[in-house]
Structure 1
Amino acid sequence: MAYTDRALDIAARVEDFVRSVVIPYESDPRRNAHGPAEELVAELKSKAREAGLMTPHILADGSHLNHAEIALVLRKSGLSPLGPLALNTAAPDEGNMYLLGQVASPEQKARFLEPMIAGDARSAFFMTEPAEDGGAGSDPSMLKTRAVMDGNHWVINGRKAFITGADGAKVGIVMANSGADEKLAATMFLVDLPHPAIRIERVLDTIDSSMPGGHAIIAIDNLRVPADQILGEVHKGFEYAQIRLSPARLTHCMRWLGACTRAQEIASEYACRRHAFGKPLIDHEGVGFPLADNLIDLKQCELIIDWCAAILDTGALGTMESSMAKVAVSEALFRIADRCVQVMGGTGVTHDTVVEQVFREVRAFRIYDGPTEVHKWSLAKKIKRAHKAA
């Protein structure tokens, strides 16, 4: 793909910033199993502001780079797991900013979106629900959280699960069933956080550790939201979710492609430097071939991301294309990270390099934003519908 000059310029500046400023922070102790501490994130963001790189995919006039340009920039931001946090290109904020930019009213943008773009507010997207409640996970039609109108307010009750970044977020997007009686209809509500009616039951201990606030189980008890805080229109939550989900799937692919590119660099340097059985590891086929396979997978990931981005830039929702990209990229990146760990042997499973963390993060990526199996099932249904139509 021929990238635009502005994308190449921004991406080059982002890469230099991540390599020279962010990567040294990977050994910073202000991190735990639930993600980097707020103090660390704030410090990184201050350095991004100084470099003129805060939220680089959104321009000064509020317009976005197109998806093809974002693909290059976010790939460079992902060279370190801390890069997207420093540059304000991380999930879920990046996807939430995109959604608000598409759907929110001018007043809502001023109140909720502008602090997010400035890097002054983190956000959380409250959609997934606990399995033990029979709530929505990969199947959004199982949405249990209810929103009932009471005068000029809506009252929301329910529980949510795996809510990324809820602990410490200032902006919430709550998705609830607003349908009457047994009818299912989803509506999205904008909420200031923290809120006394939104309680964190616990922050889960998960395999990944790159996102501030971790992933939480949430109880929502009689949350009153005024009607002017409905995002878009009533009962259009599922429609708006589709606006958010396809680009968000793809931006996950972009960021983690950057991380696996870095893991490949580290593993390759190790294999060329380390000797065993009388020669450098890279000269052993059992080491050289996996690294060669990684080069192939990395290029295929880049190409399918760029292909899907080009589809989105036509204005299409790209639901099928983003499912294909998410499956192909998440599976390939896991193979890449796994090979990097294996090439590095004992060193690969230590915290001495970022390779171990990248492995954990991309393993989780095979699940969030839709497990591989759900995307394949969805694609298979489309194949069946096309067969019937033919």
Structure 2
Amino acid sequence: MDFSLPPEITDIAQRIRALVETKLIPLEADPASYDEHQNIAKPLLARLRAEAKAEGLWALQMPKERGGGGLPMTGLAACYEEMNRSIFGPVVFHAAAPDDGNMRVLNMVGTEAQKARWLQPIIDGEVQSSFAMTEPDGAGSDPSMTYTKAERKGNDRWVISGRKHFITGAGEAKHFILMARTSGDNRTGLTAFLFHADQPGWRITRRIPIMGPEEHGGHCELEFDGLEVTDDNVLMGVGDGLRMTQIRLGPARLTHCMRWTGMGRRALEIAAAHIEQRRSFGTTLAEKESVQQMIGQAAMELDIGRLLTMRAAWLLDQGSLARKEISMAKIVAADALQKAVDTSLQLLGARGYSKDTPLEWMYRYARQARLVDGASEVHRMVLANFLRRLGKDFYQWGSYGG
């Protein structure tokens, strides 16, 4: 097994690291760098995005012919990790959710006309996008529980009614992918629709307050009461919505893991620097066995998450769906992130709990990792079902084709 990366990927990752260390991390300590929702301020973001574009580090997940970097998933794993060593990193390089997952699925399944209208403006950074699936009384981890409905009107359009909530980025998004029910069949009853924020027939009822820092556009509750979408803005085909969500959500979950390993690394870097200089009872903290146990355990768990993430990325590059491998990575990387941040905060004591470092920001952010894109309990259920179905083949090396 060879875990080394091609020289061109290593070069890109190193250039990302340099920009993160010299430009992004120093900005985190300045209160003026943040907006009112504790994310990077928009004027600063625009300047840094221009630098990322000038360095050829923009939208690395997208094809080169559309202005992206054309990297495979294994390359993205290395690069996304480097980006999220800064809390500002992913959005600066155009690798943040939900745009990341939306761009990927539009590029994979959209028609050429849909890519021109809906995808390219997202890639170019002209608009934000949002993925509207979760509902207050239904769909979350189980898309088949979608109650929002789309009904035929005439020969070429649909009228949509219902509610969605916790829709990330909706407050500033212009391009939306909306899941709605078009029949009662649990497998073929869902359809994905594309719509623009300026269309009538829908509204944002509230921006939901959350525990952690917020993405630009927050997490919103939406109401649909007559939104009309024409047939040419159906993504894939009528009844293909569940298949579309599976195509989108698997890789999207894995890119979360890629980013989380970077944040976990940064948290441990902050802790490592602190324990080398902080003295207590005659020695530095780094010389104390209990401290070594704490930071060593956190580093090990983080590296396990990195390995699972890279394995799943490799399988995706081979054409596998990597469903069980992505579920494993999602569980472990989420736990490892929280372990790394909690350990670092504990070792810094009151300083870690204060806003003098980004650790308290990371701590609040990290708690969502075990919830977003499928709670850890759901992914453990997925793994149990794979074990029941595959038996001994659950543990085979390489791809099993699922």
Residues 279 and 6 of structure 1: CA distance in aligned 2, closer, same or farther (over 3 Å): same
1:57, 1:73 within 8 Å by CA — same for their partners in 2?
no
Please tell me the root mean square deviation across aligned C-alpha atoms, in Å.
2.0
Q: Does 1:359 align with 2:363?
A: yes
Distance 1:19 1:184 in 2: 48
Q: Name the residue aligned to 1:140.
A: 143
C-alpha displacement of 1:198: 2.6
Higher RCO (CA < 8 A, seq sep 6+): 1
Q: Name the residue aligned to 1:211.
A: 215
Greater shift in the superposed pair: 313-322 or 54-63: 54-63
Distance 1:275 1:183 in 2: 61
Residues 278 and 55 of structure 1: CA distance in aligned 2, closer, same or farther (over 3 Å): same
Distance 2:187 2:333 in 1: 37
Residues 387 and 126 of structure 1: CA distance in aligned 2, closer, same or farther (over 3 Å): same
C-alpha displacement of 1:181: 8.8
Q: Does 1:335 align with 2:342?
A: no
Look up the SS of the partner of 1:61 in the other structure. helix
C-alpha displacement of 1:33: 3.3
Look up the SS of the partner of 2:333 in the other structure. helix
- Give 1:20's match in structure 2, choosing from 19, 22, 32: 22
C-alpha displacement of 1:256: 1.2
Paired letter, 1:141: S
Mark the runs of 5 or more structure 2 residues left unpaired by the alignment.
395-402
Greater shift in the superposed pair: 286-295 or 100-109: 286-295
Residues 276 and 8 of structure 1: CA distance in aligned 2, closer, same or farther (over 3 Å): same
Greater shift in the superposed pair: 46-55 or 214-223: 46-55
Distance 2:391 2:24 in 1: 50
Look up the SS of the partner of 1:352 in the other structure. coil
Counting aligned pairs with the same residue, the percent is: 38
Look up the SS of the partner of 1:32 in the other structure. coil
Q: Name the residue aligned to 2:310.
A: 306
Distance 2:221 2:195 in 1: 17
For residues 308-338 of structure 1, the C-alpha deviation after alignment (integer angstroms, 9 at most, x for no partner) is 1111111111111111110111112111111
Residues 98 and 182 of structure 1: CA distance in aligned 2, closer, same or farther (over 3 Å): closer
Residues 103 and 359 of structure 1: CA distance in aligned 2, closer, same or farther (over 3 Å): same
Paired letter, 1:165: G
Distance 2:187 2:82 in 1: 45
Distance 2:37 2:201 in 1: 26
Q: Name the residue aligned to 1:95.
A: 101
For residues 44-84 of structure 1, the C-alpha deviation after alignment (integer angstroms, 9 at most, x for no partner) is 32232233322133342247311111111111111112111
Q: Name the residue aligned to 1:76.
A: 82
Distance 1:158 1:374 in 2: 25
Distance 1:23 1:202 in 2: 32
Q: Name the residue aligned to 1:224.
A: 228
Paired letter, 1:47: E
Paired letter, 2:73: H
1:103-142 correspondence to structure 2 within 5 Å: 103-130=109-136, 134-142=137-145
Distance 2:198 2:113 in 1: 20
For residues 6-51 of structure 1, the C-alpha deviation after alignment (integer angstroms, 9 at most, x for no partner) is 2111111111111111222323433233644433432332232233
1:184-333 correspondence to structure 2 within 5 Å: 185-333=189-337
C-alpha displacement of 1:180: 5.5
Q: Name the residue aligned to 2:398.
A: none
C-alpha displacement of 1:114: 0.9
Distance 1:389 1:115 in 2: 44
Residues 235 and 184 of structure 1: CA distance in aligned 2, closer, same or farther (over 3 Å): closer
Residues 381 and 180 of structure 1: CA distance in aligned 2, closer, same or farther (over 3 Å): closer
Distance 2:267 2:300 in 1: 14
Q: Does 1:173 align with 2:182?
A: no
C-alpha displacement of 1:388: 12
Distance 1:192 1:125 in 2: 12
1:44, 1:85 within 8 Å by CA — same for their partners in 2?
no
C-alpha displacement of 1:173: 0.4
Look up the SS of the partner of 2:96 in the other structure. coil
1:82, 1:210 within 8 Å by CA — same for their partners in 2?
no
C-alpha displacement of 1:232: 1.1
Distance 2:149 2:36 in 1: 34
